Amino acid sequence: ERESQYDFVIVGGGTSGLVVANRLSEMSDVTVAVIEAGDSVLNNSNVTSVTGYGRSFGTAIDWQYQTEDQKYAGGSKQIMRAGKAIGGTSTINGMSYTRAQNVQIDSWESLGNKGWNWQSLFPYYMKSEGFQVPTQDQISFGADYYSDYHGEHGPMKVGWPKFLTNSTVLPALDESFNHLGVPYNRDVNGGLMVGLTSHPNTIDSEANVRHDAARAYYWPYQSRPNLKIISNTHANKIIWGNDSDGDAVAIGVEVNNINGKQIIHASKEVILSAGSLKSPALLELSGIGNPDILNKYDIPVKVNISTVGENLQDQTNNGLSYEGKEFWLGSPTFSALPSADQLYGESFYTIASNVNSSLADYAETIANSSNGALKASNLLAVFQVQWDLIFRSKVPFAEIVFLPIAHTFSVEYWPLLPFSRGSIHIKSADPSEPAAINPNYFMFEQDLTTQSDVAWYIRKVFGTRPLADLVGDERSPGLEHVPENASDSTWNSWVKANYRSNFHPVGTASMLPRNKGGVVNTDLKVYGTKNVRVIDASVLPYQLCGHLTSTLYAMAERASDLIKRRYTF
Ligand code: FDA
């Protein structure tokens, strides 16, 4: 049995993990190993192609995690996709680059995460970004930006695809949304996201290939002698040494690969970056979690944190489509991000007050469904913040993605801030066994209604000229399935029969004070440990209005600086 030793051992060479690996290995006197279950996808055309979204789904580089039966959503299971490759989920995702609403990041701090706010994160969005200024040609097709919002020197290339959709679409969308009170937003990446926009993607515009975490943060740096990727290798659990000052001390990670089991030793830290559907399971397998769960599988309790794996939050995605009256070429990057008042008009106040009076019930229901792992009072505090964001700060309420391609104009959409909460927990002490993943989609009637309301609104958008003139019949759902004046229950049935995961799971190892249900502190260190961190989508305490990678890159950049500060003095 071979053994190896590094200063830092990072589990998961994905979106967040490779940022940390890159930045820590800038310290030439430390060694960094990354344990990654997948392999290189540098030359995988399902990955590199900028028009290949979806092509890698169901292939060997897709974990395709299966959920438990979704009892509030019609009963069936869902597939939650995630990348299994050097580069992680950034190698299979939709490449949209949108950040978050500024007040949303500020609310992390108001909930007790000192130092984490929009102002402190913004420089790290810039640091990670290699913005490619659009060409005159791209600008004439709708690419737009404020240079103050963008960093041009970071590793992650951000820009527009080489071939953008016909220039007639955006003005038509703009005029229609103007009639509906939704403004045009030239650049959603400065912290104010509401409006219609043509956002950039994580793409190398020049080479016209996807820019994923590996292309940005690993391959150009692969020759660093102190940085090693151990690929095709599955991490099983953390190995512990003797406690120090009452805190658990990690000394390495047990892994499994073609050579069998071995331990990769860590003399400084173990950092979990395996994604929000894996990092909490790794914590449980290592003895950090809810004793009720660990005891079931005879795993000795190292640190009692009952909220590990709780707070799972995803969004739900449905699609509509219309017959196109034009023929569209090129890659569309158009999204509308209406706020709740824009979407609901006069019913806004009634909905705001109905939701407000339900918050305590939501908190109670979720606390009960977690068997007491979550406290209702902690959930309520988060829900109040969420309510404030939606109904007072009026952050974007839904994202509507417009996809005019060839002869079809389709749309995908998802409400951004659902109230449902689920969990992910191990079902066995065997690390190769899948975990129980339960997002509890549509746990609350309100989330289901919202999903239907946004579909209804999209119909209204497509009925508004001049957009209405660009399309013919509605193909999906189609008036024969959901008639013009369909009841709520007809819409709801359509939603449940056709929805999918939006693939944005977060929250399963939340950054929050320990007494408020947190798993990691503001250094992203796991409570009760000396040297274990989680740095990936698990630590986002709740959902964001942007797509996730931009914020994960920024967060991993900032976390890397926090770690480096500890080791460079
Ligand atoms: P990530 O999944 O990137 O990394 C985890 C890594 O750990 C993986 O490489 C995995 O193989 C590895 N791993 C897991 N368990 C392991 C173990 N036991 N041992 C060793 N290695 C292990 N975001 C966005 O910004 N724009 C978009 O357009 C989209 N679109 C989109 C589409 C689809 C289909 C998906 C699935 C997701 C998106 N997203 C997105 C979301 C975004 O891509 C996602 O949230 C992040 O990439 C997640 O980054 P993490 O660092 O959390 O995990």
46 touches 52 (CB < 8 A): yes
Alpha-carbon distance 42 to 33, whole Å?
A: 19
Burial 408-431 (b: 16+ CB within 10 A, else e): ebbbbbbbbbbbbbbbbbbeeeeb
Catalytic residue among 199, 234, 425, 504: 504
458: Cα within 13 Å, side-chain hemisphere: 31
Largest Cα span, the chain: 70
Report the chain (569 residues): mean pLDDT per 10 consecutive residues.
82 98 97 98 96 94 98 97 98 98 98 98 98 95 96 98 90 98 98 98 95 98 98 98 96 97 97 98 98 98 98 98 95 96 97 98 97 96 98 98 97 98 98 98 98 98 98 97 95 98 98 98 98 98 97 98 90
What pLDDT is recorded for position 2? 46
CATH class name, domain 1-136+152-158+201-313+422-438+507-569: alpha beta
In the chain, domain spans:
1-136+152-158+201-313+422-438+507-569
CB-neighbour burial class of residue 231 (10 A; exposed 0-12, middle 13-18, buried 19+): middle
| 273 Cβ closer than 6 Å to some ligand 1 atom | yes
185 touches 337 (CB < 8 A): yes
3-state secondary structure of 555: helix
pLDDT tens digits, one per residue of 191-242: 999 999 999 999 999 999 999 999 999 999 999 999 999 999 999 999 999 9
Alpha-carbon distance 542 to 506, whole Å?
A: 7
- The alpha carbon of 189 is separated from its chain's Cα centroid by a whole number of angstroms, namely 16
Q: What are the structure tokens assigned to 114, written together?
A: 């000192």
Q: Which residues lie below 8 Å from residue 515, measured CB to CB, with a gap of 6+?
A: none
183 touches 342 (CB < 8 A): no
Alpha-carbon distance 343 to 355, whole Å?
A: 16
With the most atoms of ligand 1 within 8 angstroms of its CB, the residue from 212, 549, 555 to mutate is 549
3-state secondary structure of 122: helix
Report the atom number in ligand 1 closest to the C-alpha of 13.
9
Q: Specify the DSSP class assigned to residue 339.
A: B
Picking from 528, 501, 123, the residue whose alpha carbon sits closest to that of residue 287 is 528
Pairing state between β 260-272 and 532-534? parallel
| 293 Cβ closer than 6 Å to some ligand 1 atom | no
Residue nearest to atom 49 of ligand 1 (CA): 15
What is the whole-number distance in angstroms between the Cα of residue 460 and the centre of ligand 1?
34
150 catalytic residue (yes or no): no
What pLDDT is recorded for position 3? 55
CB-neighbour burial class of residue 479 (10 A; exposed 0-12, middle 13-18, buried 19+): exposed
547 catalytic residue (yes or no): yes
What is the whole-number distance in angstroms between the Cα of residue 83 and the centre of ligand 1?
5
Tell me what ipTM this predicted complex has.
1.00
What is the whole-number distance in angstroms between the Cα of residue 150 and the centre of ligand 1?
23
Written as one string, the DSSP assignment of 311-334 is: -BB--EEEEEEEEEEEEE-SB--E
Report the atom number in ligand 1 closest to the C-alpha of 57.
34
Q: Which residues lie below 8 Å from residue 553, measured CB to CB, with a gap of 6+?
A: 15, 16, 19, 124, 125, 128, 129, 156, 213
